[in-house]
Amino acid sequence: MELFKEFMFEAAHRLPHVPDGHKCGRLHGHSFKVAVYIEGEVDPHTGWIRDFSEIKAIFKPLYEQLDHNYLNDIPGLENPTSEVLAKWIWQQLKPLLPELSRIRIHETCTSGCEYRGD
């Protein structure tokens, strides 16, 4: 079974490798939504795969690093596309959350990506 926990954060960024004049090359911000998915067996005693509050606690340091920040200043996010951000979050969480199965990023209501560790 797979479960997810969603987080919202506000951040600014610019994409340094887009063609001249591209709107994403200018400083702008998003209300990002991140969904952290984990996969595993449901514990017959607790009835869950993992306590949602544990996932929240594990994500909290990342949230504090990302929220109301300029993403380009964070090591590893110098080119903070949704794809790069999803992979970066995966790399931070996987050692702490071995059952992590995917990261979903929404940078707008209609645009985003998913990363499954491959």
Annotated catalytic residue, options 39, 68, 78, 114: 68
Provide the CA 110 distance to its chain's centre, in angstroms.
16
Backbone angles phi, psi at 103, to 5 degrees: -125, 130
81, two tokens:
């596309």
106 annotated as belonging to a binding site for a ligand = no
Closest-CA residue to 30 (of 109, 113, 108): 108
Domain boundaries, the chain: 2-16+34-115
pLDDT of residue 118: 87
Closest-CA residue to 6 (of 61, 47, 52): 52
Q: Based on the residue annotation, tell me whether 45 is a catalytic residue of this protein.
A: no
Q: pLDDT band for 11, please (50, 70, 90 cuts).
A: very high
Annotated catalytic residue, options 24, 83, 99, 113: 24
pTM: predicted TM-score of the whole model, two decimal places: 0.95
Q: Based on the residue annotation, tell me whether 22 is a catalytic residue of this protein.
A: no
Neighbouring C-alpha atoms within 13 Å toward the C-beta of 83: 3
Architecture of domain 2-16+34-115: 2-Layer Sandwich (3.30)
Q: Based on the residue annotation, tell me whether 106 is a catalytic residue of this protein.
A: no
45 annotated as belonging to a binding site for a ligand = no
For residue 76, pLDDT beyond 90: yes
